[in-house]
């Protein structure tokens, strides 16, 4: 599938709905995913160029259902032959109604008797997509597998597109997806339906979905503007999916917080690299380039959210990003408010990284010496020891107090960084102090 594919938008829009409906009806995610891919292939061969059918979702669903049932039948037939057990009657009874509903006209035929298969109302479809997101973020999968599966099953991206976004060969990404599908299939007995998580499990599972979407976003955002050209803008894709998730769980405050956080971060995209492709840190960004519409959307989400919700980590990070967004310059930033927000974040989701950010905020609000004091105990923190960030932050603070040790800290940070633009930036800072 290339950018010039006239039906790409249709695929991307319909894939989660079609796959979601199949998973709801037939339970097996892996087989459903295979069937959807086959239906897309059939569509690319059968739809007349430029015009698709009137109801592309119904068409794809019909074809995919037929493929799934055919695959099941041959699978069952083989099993039955091999095991020499007479289970066929039961199998056929189990699946006959769904098979019949596809209609004798066949997948490529005219409208045909569609029955229940086309009776998807939008509420059911939204539930299907939500269930797919929950399934793709299943705790049995590794984060890398969750990300790949979400982009493929809900985002409707091809394996090749996902592979190129993550700079790995298609075969490697294909392996991750195959493995993830096999893991999911292994979780339920053959043919069993995937029960949606119980009400008590739902918050945790939604948190996992949020983490996957945020991973996708960060992969896209941190890669943008550098030397790397992406043909699939992952950050925008993550925002699209989070926006969709929010319409399904409008009362889930952290999903709204996550959307606000993504929008406030993505708003800086145009300012984060200079003409040469070098990384421009927040401090030196041209704020006129920030996307005001995105900031306004995020701010209005937060204004409704923050007074009412039990505040979670994404909402707090979004609130911090909003304080940056409303400051006309780095120096005019309300650092005191950011300090308070980071202390709250450290209270509900403590981590060495949060305390490192707190040290920056304290350094700006109360002076670099105070920031260095917050930072000092973190120097023993094993989670930060091998990374470059603590040295970069310390170098900045040392530079602010005029300590010549800043140069050596910049060089240490540069040595430890594995990001080409960050390393170049840190070496340049050290050079200025030489």
Partner 1 sequence: MKYVILIHSNPQPWGHPTSDFIAEQQTQSPEQREQMNAEFEAVLTQMQESGELVHGEALADPNTSRLFRWKAGEAVVTDGPYSEFKEHLAGFFLIDVADQARAEEITAKFSGPGETVELRPAMWPGGDDQ
Report the nearest approach of partner 1 to the CB of residue 317 (Å): 11
Taking residue 399's Cβ as centre, other Cβ atoms within 10 Å add up to 20
Q: Which lies closer to partner 1 via its Cβ, residue 103 or residue 220?
A: 220
CB of 300 to partner 1, least distance (A): 24
| Beta carbon of residue 158, minimum distance to partner 1 (angstroms, whole number) | 16
Report the nearest approach of partner 1 to the CB of residue 150 (Å): 15
Tokens of 355: 């305390």
Nearer to partner 1, 314 or 425 (CB): 425
Reading the block at residue 51, the tokens are 């015009």
- CA 248, CA 292: separation in Å to the nearest integer? 26
Calculate the CA 95 to chain-centre distance: 35
CB of 61 or CB of 148, closer to partner 1? 148
Distance CA 357, CA 378 (A): 11
Nearer to partner 1, 169 or 203 (CB): 169
Q: Closest by alpha carbon to 188, among 30, 76, 72?
A: 30
Cα end-to-end distance, the chain, whole Å? 51
Name the minimum Å distance from CB 16 to partner 1. 22
Per-residue burial over 165-194, b if 16 or more Cβ lie within 10 Å, else e, is bbebeeeebbebbebbbebbbeeeeeeeeb
CB nearer to partner 1: pick between 78 and 415: 415
Q: How far is the CB of 305 from partner 1 (least distance, A)?
A: 22
If the CB atoms of residues 128 and 237 are measured against partner 1, the closer one turns out to be 237
Min dist CB 371 to partner 1, Å, is 15
88 vs 179 by CB, closer to partner 1? 179
How far lies 416's CA from each of 240, 357, 383, 411, 425, in Å? 34, 19, 14, 9, 13
Comparison of 79 and 423: residue with beta carbon closer to partner 1: 423
Asked if residue 33 lies in contact with residue 19, where contact means CB atoms within 8 angstroms, the answer is: yes
CB of 145 to partner 1, least distance (A): 8
Nearer to partner 1, 201 or 227 (CB): 227
Shortest distance (Å) from residue 318 CB to partner 1:
14
Other residues' Cβ atoms within 10 Å of the Cβ of residue 237: 23
Give the tokens for residue 217.
């976003």
Query: CB neighbours (10 Å) of residue 94?
Result: 14
Closest distance to partner 1 from the beta carbon of 363 (Å) = 14
Euclidean distance between CA atoms 137 and 152, whole angstroms: 13
* Sequence-distant (≥ 6) Cβ neighbours of residue 168 within 8 angstroms: none
Whole-number Å distance between alpha carbons of 174 and 136 = 15
Specify the residue, 46 or 172, whose C-beta has the smaller distance to partner 1: 172
Please report, as ranges, the residues that interact with partner 1 according to CB under 8 A: 142-145, 148, 166-169, 172-177, 179, 222-224, 226-228, 268, 272, 279-282, 285, 357, 386, 418-423, 425
Distance CA 181, CA 169 (A): 19
Question: Do residues 275 and 333 lie in contact, with contact meaning Cβ atoms separated by under 8 Å?
Answer: no
Q: How far is the CB of 33 from partner 1 (least distance, A)?
A: 16
Helix or strand or coil: residue 86? Answer: coil
Indicate the residue among 42 and 180 with the shorter CB distance to partner 1. Answer: 180
Output the six-digit token pair for 248.
């399904």
Q: Are 359 and 374 in contact (CB under 8 A)?
A: yes
């Amino acid at each position: 599938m290339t950018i010039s594919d006239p039906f790409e938008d249709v695929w991307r829009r319909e894939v989660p709905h079609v796959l979601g409906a199949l998973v709801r009806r037939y339970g097996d995610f892996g087989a459903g995913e295979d069937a959807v891919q086959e239906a897309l292939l059939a569509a690319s061969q059968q739809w007349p160029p430029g015009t698709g059918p009137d109801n592309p979702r119904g068409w794809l669903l019909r074809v995919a259902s037929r493929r799934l049932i055919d695959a099941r039948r041959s699978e069952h037939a083989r099993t039955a032959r091999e095991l020499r057990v007479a289970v066929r009657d039961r199998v056929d009874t189990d699946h006959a109604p769904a098979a019949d509903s596809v209609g004798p006209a066949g997948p490529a035929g005219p409208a045909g008797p569609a029955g229940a298969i086309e009776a998807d109302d939008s509420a059911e479809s939204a539930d299907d997509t939500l269930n797919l997101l929950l399934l793709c973020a299943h705790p049995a999968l590794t984060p890398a597998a969750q990300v790949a599966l979400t982009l493929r099953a809900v985002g409707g991206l091809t394996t090749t597109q996902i592979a190129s976004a993550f700079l790995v060969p298609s075969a490697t990404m294909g392996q991750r997806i195959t493995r993830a599908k096999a893991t999911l299939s292994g979780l339920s007995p053959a043919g069993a339906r995937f029960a949606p998580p119980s009400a008590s499990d739902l918050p945790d599972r939604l948190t996992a979905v949020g983490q996957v979407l945020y991973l996708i976003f960060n992969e896209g955002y941190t890669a943008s503007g550098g030397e790397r050209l992406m043909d699939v803008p992952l950050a925008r894709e993550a925002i699209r999916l989070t926006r969709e998730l929010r319409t399904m769980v409008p009362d889930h405050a952290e999903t709204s917080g996550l959307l606000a956080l993504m929008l406030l971060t993505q708003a800086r995209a145009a300012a984060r690299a200079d003409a040469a492709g070098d990384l421009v840190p927040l401090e030196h960004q041209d704020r006129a380039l920030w996307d005001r519409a995105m900031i306004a959307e995020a701010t209005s989400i937060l204004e409704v959210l923050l007074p009412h919700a039990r505040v979670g980590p994404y909402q707090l990070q979004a609130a911090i990003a909003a304080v940056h967004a409303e400051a006309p310059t780095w120096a005019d930033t309300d650092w005191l408010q950011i300090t308070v927000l980071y202390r709250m974040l450290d209270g509900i989701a403590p981590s060495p990284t949060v305390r490192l950010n707190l040290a920056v905020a304290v350094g700006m609000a109360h002076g670099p010496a105070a920031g260095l004091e917050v930072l000092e105990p973190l120097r023993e923190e094993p989670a930060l020891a091998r990374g470059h960030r603590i040295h970069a932050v310390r170098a900045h603070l040392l530079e602010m107090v005029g300590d010549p040790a800043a140069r050596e800290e910049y060089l240490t940070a540069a040595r430890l960084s594995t990001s080409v633009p960050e390393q170049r930036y840190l070496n340049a800072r050290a050079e200025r102090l030489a």
